[in-house]
């Protein structure tokens, strides 16, 4: 039997795998499966049909329903162009912090979850514990839904899910949903001195981006619902973060690419925001085709993440609050896989070590005290399962 690794040793190992979302995560999953197997824990996988990516889930304790599920993702964001002071894929401790890509978001929690599962197995807990490790969370939470579906016929159904995104160990009971669309505006090139005879894809795309500005202004001015008022900001937002297109300053751009994303407050229909955007797209496309008929705008769905709806007397919230003693109300504007578990019939809450402000940053880190708080949380959780 392999020696039991500490949470820190597990985090070091997980961080050493450069599981950027564009790349494979299979070596990490293989290692986790082998480590669990060495302790007598069988693991199961969901295998992506088209990409070299796997999700892993496992069960410890009595083979019955009602498990606590610890959920994390294995992918991380790129480090390209970021000024790191050390190797991003080697955990470095300095000034009371653990530095490394994923230490905060969220291989620190993954390590704690793996540790807890092995401890639960050896302790012979009376209530089961499960872990679920997904992929592609960072590109729109696309890996969790098929993983959750694959879990259903294989493991006894869990009762509650703790999604360990960094929340400074506070119980987050609600977050915004999200939907996004890759947008490709196809114009018609002419010399810019004759721009009225062509269609500038960038300038046409700018009309859609300006629509997003107008939406944000209108939403900001509107009185929020009681539920929306719990969030910061207390309204749905439309956003474009990256844009590309054009070939020269004196040529009307033939192509323009950008993504239009919405972060939708609970209580609003995220599909309705997608429909509103598509209506604006068709309006702008018609204007383009009045000049050059063969121009068009291509829209491809990018992600679709449900909100985490606050639950009345939720099992997950109650369980976490009993451990942390945190009775304050916490809502966040970022999205997680918690809403996807909730849609699948689990009670869900977000609670994990670290501060979301450190996620995706150069020199990403988790405070040592936060990691230790996460470790203590897992110890207390195990006591409740005995």
What is the distance between the alpha carbons of residues 46 and 143, in angstroms, rounded to a whole number?
Answer: 9
3-state SS assignment for residue 35:
helix
Catalytic residue among 105, 110, 137, 165: 137
> What phi and psi, each to the nearest 5 degrees, are found at residue 26?
-60, -40
Do strands 54-60 and 68-73 pair parallel, antiparallel, or not at all (unpaired)? unpaired
How many degrees, rounded to 5, is the angle at CA 87 between CA 78 and CA 38? 85
Catalytic residue among 75, 136, 189, 367: 75
Is residue 137 flagged as an active site residue?
Answer: yes
Is residue 136 flagged as an active site residue?
Answer: no
What is the distance between the alpha carbons of residues 211 and 281, in angstroms, rounded to a whole number?
Answer: 10
> What phi and psi, each to the nearest 5 degrees, are found at residue 294?
-80, 0
Burial string for 355-386 (b: 16+ CB within 10 Å, else e) reads ebebbbeebbbbbeebbeebbebbeebbeebe
Structure tokens at 318: 């109650």
Burial string for 87-104 (b: 16+ CB within 10 Å, else e) reads ebbebbeeeebbbbbbbb
- Residues with catalytic function: 75, 137
């Amino acid at each position: 039997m392999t020696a039991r690794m500490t949470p820190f040793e597990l985090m070091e190992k997980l961080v050493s795998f450069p599981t950027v979302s564009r790349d494979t995560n299979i070596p990490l999953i293989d290692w986790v499966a082998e480590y669990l197997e060495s302790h007598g824990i069988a693991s199961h996988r969901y295998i992506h049909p088209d990409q070299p990516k796997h999700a892993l889930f496992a069960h410890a304790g009595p083979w019955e329903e009602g498990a606590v599920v610890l959920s994390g993702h294995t992918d991380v964001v790129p480090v390209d162009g970021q000024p790191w002071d050390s190797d991003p894929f080697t955990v470095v401790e300095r000034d009371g912090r653990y530095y490394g890509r994923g230490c905060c978001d969220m291989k620190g929690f993954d390590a704690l979850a793996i540790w807890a599962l092995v401890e639960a197995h050896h302790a012979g807990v009376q209530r089961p514990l499960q872990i679920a490790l997904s992929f592609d969370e960072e590109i729109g939470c696309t890996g969790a839904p098929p993983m959750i579906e694959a879990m259903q016929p294989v493991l006894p159904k869990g009762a509650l899910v703790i999604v360990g995104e960094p929340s400074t160990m506070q119980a987050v009971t609600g977050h915004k949903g999200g939907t996004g669309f890759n947008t490709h505006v196809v114009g018609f090139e002419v010399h810019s001195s004759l721009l009225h005879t062509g269609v500038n894809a960038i300038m046409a795309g700018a009309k859609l981006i300006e629509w997003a500005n107008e939406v944000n202004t209108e939403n900001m001015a509107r009185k929020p619902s009681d539920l929306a008022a719990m969030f910061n900001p207390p309204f749905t937002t439309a956003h474009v973060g990256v844009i590309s297109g054009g070939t020269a300053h004196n040529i009307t751009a033939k192509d323009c690419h950008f993504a239009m994303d919405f972060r939708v407050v609970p209580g609003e229909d995220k599909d309705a925001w997608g429909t509103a955007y598509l209506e604006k797209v068709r309006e702008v496309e018609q204007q383009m085709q009045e000049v050059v008929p063969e121009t068009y705008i291509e829209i491809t769905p990018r992600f679709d993440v449900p909100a985490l709806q606050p639950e009345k007397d939720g099992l997950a919230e109650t369980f976490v609050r009993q451990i942390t003693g945190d009775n304050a109300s916490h809502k966040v504007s970022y999205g997680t896989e918690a809403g996807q578990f909730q849609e699948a019939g689990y009670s869900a809450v977000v609670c994990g070590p670290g501060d979301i402000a450190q996620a995706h940053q150069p020199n990403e880190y988790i405070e040592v005290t936060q990691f230790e708080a996460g470790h203590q949380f897992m110890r207390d959780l195990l006591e409740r399962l005995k």
